Amino acid sequence: MDFLIIGLVAFGASALTFFSGFGLGTLLLPAFALFFTTPIALMATGIVHLLNNLFKGTLVWKLVDWPTVLRFGLPAIPSAILGAFLLTYLDARIASIVIGIILILFAILEFQSWFQRLTFPRKYVSFGGILTGFMGGLSGQQGAIRSMFLLKSDFDAKHYIATGVFIAVLIDLARLPTYVLGLRGASAEVSQHELLLIGFGTLCAFTGAWLGARYAKKTTIGLVRYVVAGLMLVIGTLLVFGIIGT
């Protein structure tokens, strides 16, 4: 049963979030938490998320806007550390509610035609990176904010997807060591069965990403907008009601 649940969630979430640029970790963490302790579930989710982003990167790397990756991703790393530091002084439940409300408001705005027409020059994406990293460190929900900023940078669908993948890789590389250190601090050990389950989830996520890539050429930025807004609405609601993020 554990392989079935993890496999289905990893496959479905990876295929769906290929277009939105976020959501795999949010959907996969509760599935891992059904069978793992919290420290191991966090590490497992981080590993699958990173490996899946690297795999997606091999599928779309020719379409990446590298200056945007660097201007957006590099400032996100120190701001994520700051957000994580502040989280130690802030109640996690309050942080989840605040971030959830922000996501819901952005989702509602994204459904408005006047808001969809708003753009800003790409030279300002560093600010988006700072805010994205900070929100990620504070709540773990960095992908939705990142996607919202990239949508306002006037990318087409293919370049939006590719650029977002490599920004996510930078942030994953920065945060995964934190999960590993936390696992050591919790004195937890990963069993062979758990390693097999992580590997299986990774392969299923690869398959979902490959399927998503097959349809990427037919995807319009309008469809991506609605996928992003829909996921932001769902994740924001789950955060506010404490279903995730607690």
- pLDDT tens for 3-25 read 998 999 899 888 877 877 777 87
Q: What is the pLDDT of residue 204?
A: 94
Predicted local distance difference test score (pLDDT) of residue 202 = 93
Are the C-beta atoms of 204 and 14 separated by less than 8 Å? yes
Residue 15 lies in a domain: yes
Residue 246: inside a domain:
no
Is 29 part of a structural domain of the chain? yes
For the chain, which ranges sit under pLDDT 50? 187
Determine, yes or no, domain membership for 142. yes
Quick check: is 23 in a domain? yes
* Counted domains in the chain: 1
For residues 56 and 169, give the distance between their C-alpha atoms in angstroms, rounded to a whole number.
Answer: 10
Does 130 reside within a domain? yes
Tell whether 63 is covered by a domain. yes
Residue 219 pLDDT: 67
- Domain range for 130: 2-240
Cβ 166 vs Cβ 114: under 8 Å: no
- The crossing angle, in degrees rounded to 10, of helices 38-60 and 2-20 is 50
Residue 245 lies in a domain: no
Question: What are the structure tokens assigned to 123, written together?
Answer: 């030279």
Q: Residue 77: its pLDDT value, please?
A: 84
Give pLDDT, residue 232.
76
Identify whether the C-beta of residue 179 lies closer than 8 Å to the C-beta of residue 46: yes
Q: What is the pLDDT of residue 145?
A: 75
Residue owning tokens 């952005």: 106
